[in-house]
Amino acid sequence: MEYYSIATILIVLSAAFGYINVKFLKLPITIGLMVITIVFTVVLVGIGQFDDTLLLKEKAFITSIDFKTVLLDIMLSFLLFAGALHTNFNQLKVQRWPILAFATFGVLVSTFLVGGIMFYLLQLMDLNVEFIYCLLFGALISPTDPIAVLGILKKAGAPKKLETKIVGESLFNDGVGVVVFLTIFAIAAKPGVAVEFSDIATLFGQEVIGGIVLGLLLGWITYKLMKSIDNYEVEVILTLATVMGGTMLAHEFHLSAPLAMVTAGLIVGNDTVRNTAMSETTETYVDKFWELIDVLLNTILFVMIGMEMLVLTLEGKYIYAGLLAIPIILMCRYISLWIPIKFFAKRLDFVPKTNLIMTWGGLRGGISIALALSLTKDMHRELFLVITYIVVVVSIVGQGLTVEPIIKRLTRKID
């Protein structure tokens, strides 16, 4: 199917489902679209028991989309830049050390905890999966999804310093998580080849540090160019060129595009740049343009996630493993956050129950599914894809619908 046709169908479905959600369900857009798409798909499966014409067409459509490439190589850069652009830079600066600890140490600890526990759980279920592949699953499921988190937290009413920690962590742990996944993937893909620690450190450093440096450079260049002119049309196009050109450069030099885009977005969006490089008109148009990009890509993404259900191998053991994985992943996230929170608690004023709120508010989303889709058959792709999908759906719908009342209840005594 041609790219234009695929894009057209996705946008038409997104518009239709978005209208239904706003008109009738009135759920947060990420949750509403996923629920409607899953219901739509289930209805098609039911109809397919009598006439499978529409079902076969939807299966052909969803299999024609390279979900991993579309999300990780194209959509993710736009979404992360848009999210970072509207993040409070000053609050982020104050909270930078715990956010850095959550996004690096937390992801690594969660990866090994999830991988280790899932290894023994799958053995008990007579699913013989090697430890390295369980680590891969730990790496792909440990990062929280900034796309899901940002969309839901905007309405949750969390205290600003707590919201900054959750949003900041989700923006950065995404890039770190992808790098951790790719590093373990490189080891798993060559089981008989000895991999030196120096090689792993070099790959990790190149992706993470290189991505951040590229983002700093792109942000600085964009700032200088915007400061030298006063034309809102061209300045909006400059921000778009930063994302598209920067992503291409990151892929060319094997740097982390997500981290580059987060860094560039934070620089372009901070108050100093806004006050010195943007007129009020430019600031309004830049914000509105990226808000529209954010909403459009979000709607398309969660429609695609809902439709991915058709490509799953829904075996009983796989579903059972997915359901058991949910409390395991939540427990591992709680533990991985506990150490950094305890370390920084005396230096920074943490909101009470921060660990509990961050654990429940750390939603999984499309990035985990995209990484699971990149696994090979030898890495037990079908098993981990089903587990990941179940975790993501429960995370976005279950945690997403309850995170607002939980935050309000746990923080109601806070000013």
C-beta of residue 38 within 8 angstroms of C-beta of residue 17: no
Q: What is the mean pLDDT of the chain?
A: 90
Task: Domain 67-410: give its CATH architecture.
Answer: Up-down Bundle (1.20)
CATH 1.20.1530.20 in the chain, residues? Answer: 67-410
pLDDT in tens, 184-204: 998 888 776 656 667 677 777
What pLDDT score does 151 carry?
A: 65
How confident is residue 412, by pLDDT bands cut at 50, 70 and 90?
Answer: confident
pLDDT in tens, 295-352: 899 899 999 999 999 889 989 999 999 999 999 999 999 999 998 998 888 777 788 8
What pLDDT score does 378 carry?
A: 93
pLDDT in tens, 83-121: 899 888 888 888 889 999 999 999 999 999 999 999 999
Q: Which of 363, 364, 360, 338 is nearest to 408 (CA)?
A: 360
3-state secondary structure 261-272: HHHHHHHHHCHH
Which residues, including other chains, have CB under 8 Å from residue 7's CB and lie 6 or more apart? none
DSSP calls for 36-80 = HHHHHHHHHHHHHTT--HHHHHHHHHHHTS-HHIIIIIIIHHHHH
Cα dist from 144 to 21, 66, 135, 294, 358, whole Å: 24, 22, 17, 18, 10
Is the per-residue pLDDT at 126 higher than 90?
Answer: yes
Question: Strand, coil or helix: what is 182?
Answer: helix
> What pTM was estimated for this model as a whole?
0.93
pLDDT in tens, 345-374: 877 778 888 999 899 988 998 999 999 999
Q: Which long-range contacts (CB under 8 A, 24 or more apart) does 241-247 make?
A: 242/81, 242/218, 242/268, 243/77, 243/78, 243/81, 244/77, 245/218, 246/77, 246/214, 246/215, 246/218, 247/73, 247/74, 247/77
Is the per-residue pLDDT at 160 higher than 80?
Answer: no
Residue with tokens 């009470």: 352
What pLDDT score does 196 carry?
A: 67
C-beta of residue 406 within 8 angstroms of C-beta of residue 357: yes
Which residues, including other chains, have CB under 8 Å from residue 359's CB and lie 6 or more apart? 330, 333, 334, 337
Is the per-residue pLDDT at 6 higher than 60?
Answer: yes
pLDDT in tens, 221-266: 999 999 999 999 999 999 999 999 999 999 999 899 999 999 999 9
How confident is residue 161, by pLDDT bands cut at 50, 70 and 90?
Answer: confident
- Region 169-188 average pLDDT: 88
What pLDDT score does 415 carry?
A: 46
- The overall longest dimension of the chain from CA atoms, in Å, is 65
Is the per-residue pLDDT at 385 higher than 90?
Answer: yes
Can you tell me the distance from the alpha carbon of 30 to that of 368, in angstroms, rounded to the nearest whole number? 16
